[in-house]
Amino acid sequence: MNYNKILESVKSQFKTDEKTADALIKSVLGNLINLMPEEIARDFVKPFPPQLSFDTLRGHLLTSKVISVDQFVQDIKRQFSFSTTQVKLLTRTIFEFLKNNSPSHFPLWERSLPFEWVGLIEYMEEKTESERIHHSNMININKADRLQLSRIDGMGKELADKIIKYRDEHGGFRDLDEIDLIAGFDKIITEKIKEKVYIG
């Protein structure tokens, strides 16, 4: 398991330095393993690199108590000045990392989670899958040019340029909710855009 890979991904996606990216990853993983019985948690982190040892991850918790999804989101928001959208994107990035790098451990860990956390994972998975579906009348937000984007109702060339700038700076969109992070997009326009584009 390559820790530098997830570290670089978080640094790039959230435009942060290495120290903050490291703290973000460890805070999220610390909360996630805190939801498991200790024996399962210790087994789960065995394939992880030394930077993500059981003791290291538990040391990054704000509390030793098992917390709800809402508390988890609020803690990360408060600790790192993140928006709810950013917390969801971060969590999804880490879920994908875990699934891809610990395929044999992930199902066991998932079964040990409280119900509301399983629901969060399923939400992330469903969202990921739905965004991969290509519809002939939709535009790939990661490949569309300025003209294609500007033709979306409510977009225009100025907002299309902002989409392209964000895409270039972040190595593409991983989640349509990232549109919410771009200045100049109000909720109505954002929802219209999300209906016309997909991640590809």
Residue 160 Cα distances to 12, 17, 106, 148, angstroms: 21, 28, 39, 9
Q: Of 112, 132, 152, which one is at a domain's C-terminal end?
A: 132
CATH number, residue 127: 1.10.490.110
pLDDT value at 120 more than 70: no
127 Cβ neighbours under 8 A, 6+ residues apart: 92, 175
State the pLDDT at residue 88.
79
Q: Is 9 found in the same domain as 48?
A: yes
Are 61 and 143 in a shared domain? no
User: Bigger pLDDT: 161 or 123?
Assistant: 161
**Using 50, 70 and 90 to split pLDDT, how confident is the model at 72?**
confident
Residue 109 and residue 126 in one domain: yes
Task: Copy the structure tokens of residue 23.
Answer: 């703290």
CATH of the domain at 162: 1.10.150
For the chain, what is the domain count?
Answer: 2
- The reply to whether the predicted model has a pTM over 0.85 is no
Whether 86 and 178 map to the same domain: the answer is no
- What pLDDT is recorded for position 159? 92
Say what the pLDDT of residue 62 is.
Answer: 55
pLDDT tens, residue by residue, 97-112: 777 776 666 666 666 6
Same domain, 98 and 64: yes
Q: Please spell the DSSP secondary structure of 82-125, one letter per residue.
A: --HHHHHHHHHHHHHHHHHH-TTTHHHHHHTS-HHHHHHHHHHH
3-class secondary structure, 62: coil
Note whether 190 and 179 are within 8 A (CB): yes
Dihedrals phi, psi of 144, to nearest 5 degrees = -65, 145
Domain span at residue 168?
A: 139-198
* 153 and 125 within one domain: no
Same domain for 9 and 102, yes or no, is yes
Dihedral sign of CA atoms 21, 24, 30, 35 in order: negative
pLDDT-based confidence at 123, cuts 50/70/90? low
Same domain, residue pair 98 and 145 = no
Q: Which of 113, 132, 151 lies at the terminal end of a domain, its last residue?
A: 132
Three-state SS at 199? coil
Considering the domain architecture, whether residues 110 and 24 belong to the same structural domain is answered as yes
Query: 173 and 88, same structural domain?
Result: no
pLDDT digits (tens, 9 = 90+) for 10-58: 888 888 899 999 999 888 888 888 877 788 788 878 888 888 888 888 7
128 plus 145 within the same structural domain:
no
Do 46 and 112 lie in one domain? The reply is yes
